[in-house]
Amino acid sequence: MTYVPDRITRESRRPEHGPVEGELWPVEPGRYRLVAALACPWANRAIIVRNLLGLEDVISLGLCGPTHDERSWTFDLDPGGRDPVLGMERLQEAYFRRFPDYPRGITVPAVVEESTGRLVTNDFPWITHDFFHEWREHHRADAPDLWPVALRDEMDRVMKRVFTEVNNGVYRCGFAGTQSAYDDAYARLWVALDWLEERLSTRRYLMGEAITEADVRLFTTLARFDAVYHGHFKTNRQKLVELPHLWGYARDLFQTPGFGETIDFEQIKKHYYVVHRDINPTGIVPAGPDPAVWLEPHGRG
């Protein structure tokens, strides 16, 4: 998947961090709308980071429903099936206003310019990166340091492994077209999860004693693991609840303001089990597991 590489930066200047392959847009409170879906783990990241940094009054939020067809995510949760700010029924409209012949998939998260309804970017790793680095003047006073300078090199290595082996790893299992491809994906995923289980046995969070962007990126996969990936994607060596350090860590984050309120297990299950008809042709959505377990004491304080 190739994403629109535009970035939003302070005064449209070249950012200090990362490449610039697209256009630069200026940081401007009230100009942009983050369009996301609670069902999607990649979009869930952006919602969490927006919450943690206190950007709710600076960047508005539009939510798509959990199911979609081959054309686009839709605003079917809103009255009349239209986003109340953008006036659109489908996120596809924002893509086509910017690129009339847009040839790729319509993905969330997406940042849309409110006044024109045009897509700005859907490059999800840079959206959250720039929420932290470029919107700093608008952060809440007690916002966490999601990218601590002293840890960035190690963070990059950890996040790369989490992305390739876990965030993407569950999808490699779920969409494997052959037994050998599945077997390889399954083995790689569990090597990474065992590494994380061991890492979290000696530290509260991935990078130590404070929450960073690395935790946000891992959490959205863990939150979906037992409800979806364990069965639907066949990642079933163990459930998350059977991995003591990862399970305690996941509950710790879930119970931290900014995280748990973004998790809607019914929307998550409906998205995967209804949309992925090639994997689940009946469209039956499972009733469990019980979400109440996420509120049990985690013991990691």
Taking only the tens place, the pLDDT of each residue in 142-170 is 999 999 999 999 999 999 999 999 999 99
- Answer yes or no: is pLDDT of 1 > 70: no
| pLDDT at residue 143 in the model | 98
CA 256/CA 268 separation, integer angstroms: 20
Mean pLDDT to the nearest integer, 16-33: 86
| pLDDT at residue 301 in the model | 85
Percent of the chain with pLDDT over 70: 97
34-60 pLDDT, tens digit per residue, is: 999 999 999 999 999 999 999 999 999
CA 45/CA 5 separation, integer angstroms: 18
- Answer yes or no: is pLDDT of 125 > 90: yes
Provide the 10 A C-beta neighbour count for residue 87: 11
Residue 20's pLDDT band (boundaries 50, 70, 90)? Answer: confident
Residue 8 CA from chain centroid, whole number: 19
Mean pLDDT to the nearest integer, 208-225: 98
Residue 40 is a catalytic residue = yes
| pLDDT at residue 17 in the model | 67
Mean pLDDT to the nearest integer, 58-76: 95
| pLDDT at residue 106 in the model | 96
Residue 78's pLDDT band (boundaries 50, 70, 90)? Answer: very high
Which residues are 119's β-sheet partners? Answer: 112
Tokens coding 301 = 């304080």
Residue 3 is a catalytic residue = no
Considering the candidates 3, 32, 64, 171, report the single residue annotated as catalytic: 171
| pLDDT at residue 240 in the model | 98
| pLDDT at residue 70 in the model | 82
Mean pLDDT to the nearest integer, 113-135: 97
**Nearest C-alpha neighbor of 18 from the set 213, 211, 166, 192:** 213
Lowest mean pLDDT segment, chosen from 4-13, 196-205, 241-250: 4-13
Percent of the chain with pLDDT over 90: 94
Q: With b meaning 16 or more CB within 10 Å and e meaning fewer, what string describes 215-254?
A: bbbbbbbbbbbbbbbbbbbbbeebebbebebbbbbbbbbb
- Answer yes or no: is pLDDT of 18 > 80: no
- Answer yes or no: is pLDDT of 266 > 80: yes
| pLDDT at residue 22 in the model | 86
Domains of the chain: 7-138 (3.40.30.10), 149-295 (1.20.1050.10)
Considering the candidates 32, 40, 173, 186, report the single residue annotated as catalytic: 40
